[in-house]
Structure 1
């Protein structure tokens, strides 16, 4: 039977959530899917070429699927549920991937809470608007100027960027990213001073009569926010942020009498007070009127893709939860890891590895990663081409549909089929049929969210890194890079320094933080500020330096709450 015209949803953890289609037996970008627009990005192509797991492993030895399932069941039956942990990653973001969590919730495992990604920022936006929901993607296309704040937009959102690449861009980022190089203005602020820049821009918006009086009058808390913005001398903001007043004036020259959108990234909230930093930026955007759709084009962040949908898999049974940024794997007799690579992606790698060594680790995923080295039992999941699923996007409002276009291998199993198997073995009830779940997401239409209230931030307390920073210390920055995604595909393990560091290209250096140490080979670039060091996501040594602590309000990681010193190896 011909597979032509069947669609395939990209499973990857990125804003675009693109969709492919089979044409003449080949996989192509779907021209009928608005965000994809007929193009496939480098990460989707890499995903198609990945070498997928085909055989289950027990203690590094090949075994059959039936045997691996028998071992899993016996382990679960012989272990108290309170001594087990279910740890889910974002290796595949299809809606069916949440099915397995519903089994472990019923079984009574500890689950994780919070995020390694966007938690603080999401909490901040919820505090201002009530929901973390983006405007329709079409609104972005109406903008004359797009402000990109803490997000390498052209790399992390290449499909969305392609739709608006001819716009005027302003980039706010400590690093001279790809999008910064393609912007009319780059404000290279110091790390963790984003909220101060937001307050400085608010002052200038007021002085230049560019605030949205209609929006501010509608939500009375704007006066308290402006009082916060003017509570410090302007010159103090310039000194703290490292952004000149000349560049601030240029910012307003570019946006004056223009329709503006703000695309906010994860970089601004990788700190202890990440929620309030994000809330401050969103309040500046509101003061300027960017949420007023009659004048501007809105503010984008990492949206709640489940907004407006009812959860189809019940995970409320388990009451025990542990912050994902603080997980101590050694506490548990059995750890089940689904589609994650905590050895590279979780904070404080050394602690993660020591914890996994002291647990019975079950890994389920499609590819062999760093965490598999510490797994006792490995269950190969079917690839995304071998199962039906639906992707809901956190970058835009469009769904992507994934049909089964390939038969799974004999010794692989889908997440849903494993869930169904475990429900039957343990006599659990309440699991919906796969067809019913998929049909629900296919047929449910979500209304556009319009916030009825906006709560401007009126007070903020930040522990400034620049007040702690010693002369020989650097801000530690992490960022996304083209041709890699988190810990997948082409990984870059270099440490990037500014040439003013006086360290030679190719040198081996040791970085130390209060949380750990690691050695790196150096590459030099003027894209990094002299007071910063940069590691790209997926760098295998980067998280030896990061804190296994949670942020102020969202149980989430704070990767950039770190200062490091450098010594030659």
Structure 2
């Protein structure tokens, strides 16, 4: 490896580590406030990955030149409007979007929405016009951190390390790692986070803790929002949320006159009305006075490109389909980049059936589950062998990658593949790599406070508990400290509370309206009663989830489902 060069972590997590090569070893950069000289477990595992070395066509290894010729011929033969470009988040570098530039010009169908944060992101945007986190210094300067549906110490280990001495409050159905470190753990019932936000707002008003200055600026919207909180008796929230009123009082006593931050995870919005749910939480934060202060604020998965001009994007009039509702069988050719939809997309059975009926190209660094259904697999060069820029969705700092080792002979970078195809089809050229990277190096975005805030004024959410029977279980997913989505060490168990009546190592058949699968049980006191918990990346979970879009953002709603469990 070439020493004294920078390396940006490409993976799909909040921290966006900046590393550097020192004495032939990759180490965390001390110049980056978030990485702070340390690398996380996921980065260490990434460095050990067995990357693809050769393309594969019809289950036989071929050369890179042969694979590019096959791809070019297939694209020439196809009706471009009947091809699909599908990208995952296996690599979040800016230059990874180069291939989308080609497929936009080519005329492929593109996806819209998200498998991850779309619903919640829309809710934040509706309230504040943009999905932007406050500067990380405001998190560092806070006194109390409310962790709402996010296993903060696992999914944001570097950010957590900066604030680990703070007082934490956790709101989560699962007794997560951060919940065990918290002063208060509210073990909430699934899909009742909006109800808890309303209840907290009601108590904030009752105890004269609202931010009067902020509310005066946004009087009309705040009054409508507060009216929603008064639509039912206070005591009724205990039964639906599972949170005793004494804990609500305890939380407000703890945060009174303190600098408060709220870090919100993805679990709260994996439902049909995800945008409304997140907007309720953000409105509670505004009512309490968390926004527009010198310290504190609300952190979600932000728009990492906010304030920058996308240097590889090109405008097009391409048809778009919801990423949650993709029917792969509808296309003559499907190009999948950096994704593993066989595991990560909802309704695995329909995904597999669709892939079997199309010509599938996988462009990936590693051989994943989806490659099993691909006709052509093209290896992407390692992140160590290409230049790039990583913009973080967890904080405002950038990370840069330089080439620290030569690319394997039969691999190709996203930028080079896009350049090859653009030249082959005579399309408009990309900017040079130097020009793109220099733009990000020389452009500094000031993350200004939002100018307006609109409280949610109407609420129409169908609770899951309304249709739940005594035999049903809620489906809950969460991150593991040993894996990242479908990468690394995958845990395929279902985790149940001891009250479920099942035992360790029982084989159970789990059924939903969308499918079924067999799992091995692990019993844990950390799981909320009547919940079935699965780690993200579990190869069978998405046999149970709906391939339907949410209410507004064209995104997936993985947890909008009730389960039946029986011994297999």
Tell me if the contact between 1:203 and 1:226 (Cα under 8 Å) persists in the aligned partners: yes
2-structure distance, mates of 1:316, 1:110: 13
Alignment correspondent of 1:520: 519
Deviations, residues 392-420 of structure 1 (Å, cap 9, x unaligned): 00000000011100000110000000000
1:558 and 2:547 equivalent?
no
State the SS of the aligned residue for 2:78: coil
Equivalent pair of 1:109/1:318 in contact (CA under 8 Å): no
SS at match of 1:222: helix
Q: How does 1:393-432 map to 2 (within 5 A)?
A: 393-432=392-431
Matched positions, count: 567
User: How far did residue 302 of structure 1 move?
Assistant: 0.4
Contact 2:325 2:549 in 1 (8 A): yes
Q: Superposition pairs for residues 6-85 of structure 1, below 5 Å? A: 6-85=5-84
Counterpart for residue 177 of structure 2: 178
Please give the residue correspondences for 1:136-155 in structure 2 after superposition, counting only pairs within 5 Å.
136-155=135-154
Q: Which residue of 1 aligns with 2:288?
A: 288
Given the two structures, how large is their TM-score scaled by the length of structure 2? 0.99
Alpha-carbon distance in structure 1 between the residues aligned to 2:193 and 2:314 = 36
Instruction: State how 1:156-555 maps to structure 2 within 5 Å.
Output: 156-220=155-219, 221-294=221-294, 296-555=295-554
1:314 positional shift: 2.8
Quote the offset at 1:315 in angstroms: 3.7
User: Could you tell me how far 1:317 is from its partner in structure 2?
Assistant: 1.6
Structure-1 separation of matches of 2:111 and 2:244 = 42
Cα separation, 1, equivalents of 2:70 and 2:433: 25
Matches of 1:80 and 1:25, distance apart in 2: 48
Structure 1 residue 465, shift from structure 2 partner? 0.4
Unaligned ranges ≥5, structure 2:
none
C-alpha separation in 1, matches of 2:80 and 2:4: 45
Q: CA deviation at 1:236?
A: 1.2
CA offset at residue 449 of structure 1?
2.4
CA contact (8 A) 2:419 2:429 kept: no
SS at the partner of 1:543? Answer: helix
Q: SS at 2:477's partner residue?
A: strand
Q: Matched residues in 1 for 2:107 and 2:447: separation? A: 36
CA distance in 2, matches of 1:86, 1:3: 35
Cα distance per residue 1:74-127 (max 9 Å; x no partner): 000000001100000000000000000010010000000000000000000001
Q: Decide which moves more: 232-241 or 191-200.
A: 232-241
Q: Residues of 1 paired with 2:318 and 2:377: CA distance? A: 27
Q: Distance in 1 between matches of 2:447 and 2:337?
A: 32
**How many angstroms apart in 2 are the aligned matches of 1:407 and 1:504?**
51
| TM-score, length-scaled by structure 1 | 0.99
Residue deviations 1:504-529 (CA, integer Å, cap 9, x gap): 11000000000110100000001111
Q: What is the deviation of 1:230? A: 1.3
CA distance in structure 2 between the partners assigned to 1:319 and 1:366 by the alignment: 27
CA distance in 2, matches of 1:264, 1:233: 27
Say if 2:3 and 2:404, in contact at 8 Å, map to a contact too: no
1:234 is paired with a residue whose SS is coil
**Residues in 2 aligned to 1:265 and 1:502: alpha-carbon distance in whole angstroms:** 30
Q: Is the 8 A contact 1:111 1:318 kept in 2?
A: no
Higher mean alpha-carbon deviation, 245-254 vs 323-332, is at: 245-254
- Deviation per CA, 1:355-387: give whole Å up to 9, x if none: 000000000010000000001001001000000
How far apart, in 1, do the equivalents of 2:246 and 2:428 lie?
Answer: 65
What CA deviation, in whole Å up to 9, does each residue of 1:295-320 have, x standing for no partner? x4111000100100111123422420
Distance, in Å, in 2 between the alignment partners of 1:61 and 1:448 is: 50
CA–CA distance in structure 1, aligned partners of residues 482 and 402 of structure 2? 26
Q: Deviations over 1:437-490 (max 9, x none)?
A: 111111111012221110001110111100000110010001111010000001
* CA offset digits 1:496-554 (Å, max 9, x no partner): 00011111110000000001101000000011111101000000000000000000000
Structure 2: distance between partners of 1:479 and 1:449: 32
Shift of 1:4: 2.4
Contact 2:8 2:18 in 1 (8 A): yes
Structure 1 residue runs of 4 or more that deviate by more than 6 Å after TM superposition: none
Q: CA RMSD of the aligned region, Å?
A: 0.8
Separation (CA, whole Å) in 2 of partners of 1:204 and 1:462: 21
Query: How far is 1:24 from its partner?
Result: 1.5
How far does residue 23 in structure 1 lie from its aligned partner after superposition? 1.2
Q: Distance in 2 between matches of 1:40 and 1:516?
A: 39
Separation in 2, partners of 1:411, 1:47: 20
Tell me by how many angstroms 1:292 deviates: 2.6
Structure 2 CA distance for aligned equivalents of residues 108 and 63 of structure 1: 28
Q: Aligned partners of 2:478, 2:52: CA distance in 1, in Å?
A: 28
SS at match of 1:170: strand
| Mapped partners of 1:110, 1:159: distance in 2 | 37
Contact 2:2 2:405 (8 Å CA) reproduced: no
Match of 1:568 in 2: 567
